[in-house]
Amino acid sequence: MEFIEVEEAYSSQASFLDRDELPSYGEKPDGWRPAGKRVKRGLYQTAKGWLVNAEANAAANLLKKVSRTLGLCLQELSRGALTKPLRRPCKNPPPLDGGSVKLQRTGW
């Protein structure tokens, strides 16, 4: 396994869906502005008004930076991956009253 460090400058500010450029740390061009913005904690709004999870937007931008470094193709990463994430049902959801949860083992 090989470790490759990739800096994450501007990955949270830039809009992946609007295809913002991702400048490297210390190399932000004069007048650079992200197309979208964080509207509240955990929520990012693109220039087109799409609301996406802010962490998913930042992660997609980091993938874009990593893909440049490693020469990967990100054609399969689409708008749907950010705007309609797959939701998994929770078999043993935590109680709303903050009490403890008894987990049950299900068959593998």
Contact 56, 62 (CB under 8 A): no
pLDDT digits (tens, 9 = 90+) for 23-81: 888 888 888 899 999 999 989 999 999 898 899 899 888 888 887 777 777 666 666 66
Judge whether 40 lies within some domain. yes
Question: Does residue 90 form part of some domain?
Answer: no
What does the block give as tokens for 13?
A: 């500010």
DSSP assignment, residue 14? S
Statement: the pTM of the whole predicted model exceeds 0.75: no
The domain of 5 spans 1-75
| Number of compact structural domains in the chain | 1
Q: Does any domain span residue 35?
A: yes
pLDDT at 73 (0 to 100): 72
Task: Report the distance separating Cα 33 and Cα 14, nearest Å.
Answer: 8
DSSP 25: T
Residue 81 maps to a domain = no
Query: What letter does residue 3 receive in the DSSP assignment?
Result: -
